[in-house]
Amino acid sequence: GAGSWSVMKFWPRHRPPGSRWLFWKRPESPMRPLTESQIRRMAKRSYMNERQRAFFHQRLLTLRRDTLATMEELQASLRATVREPDEADQAAQEEEQRLVLRALDRDTRLLDKIDAALRRLATGDYGYCLETGEPIGVERLLARPTAEYAIDAKTRRENLEKHFRDD
C-alpha cells in the first residue's frame, strides 16, 4: 500500500560484496483522496498527516459550500414571502419566517465554525483540543469536522456551563 516500507537491492541483479540494501518508503500519493474507512484504519502515529489534513480540508470546504447553498435557499424563501391578508394565515407565515430566521442564524454560526476550522487547518492546529492540546480524535472529527475540543474537555466545559446556568 502507499506509504509502506519496501526493500530494494542497491544493484538489481548482482550485488557486489559490501554493497548495501537500500530501504526506502514509498511516498504517499496526495492525489488519491482518502475514504472515511481508510482514515479510521490509519495508525494513531499518522494522526493529522498530510493526507488526513487534505481529507478534512475537502470535507470542510464541502460543508461550507452546502451551508452557503442552504442559506441562499432560506434567504430566497424570505424574499419570496408575500403578506397574507387573513390574520390566521399571516400568523402562520410569521411563525414560518421566525423558523427560517432561526435556521439562518444557526447556519451563520456554523459557517463561522467552519471558517475557524479552516484557519486552524492552515496553521496546523486542526484536530487538536484548544484547551488541552491533545488530539481530538478521528472519529469525533468525522462526526463533527468543526470540533474544537476533545470529548473530555467538551464534557467539562458543558458541565461548567450547566453549573453556572443552574445558579
Give me 48's grid cell: 493529522
pLDDT of residue 84: 67
| Per-residue confidence (pLDDT) for residue 101, from 0 to 100 | 93
Nearest partner of 120 among 67, 30, 24, 53, judged by Cα? 53
Q: What is the mean pLDDT of each run of 10 residues along the chain (167 residues)?
A: 46 49 48 84 92 95 96 90 76 88 96 96 94 94 95 89 74
Task: Write down the pLDDT at residue 12.
Answer: 45
Look at residue 18 in the predicted model and tell me its pLDDT. 55
- Which pLDDT tens digit goes with each residue over 82-124? 776 778 778 888 888 999 999 999 999 999 999 999 999 999 9
CA separation for the pair 71, 64 (Å, rounded) = 10
Residue 81 has a pLDDT of 76
Half-sphere exposure of 107 (CA within 13 A, CB side): 19
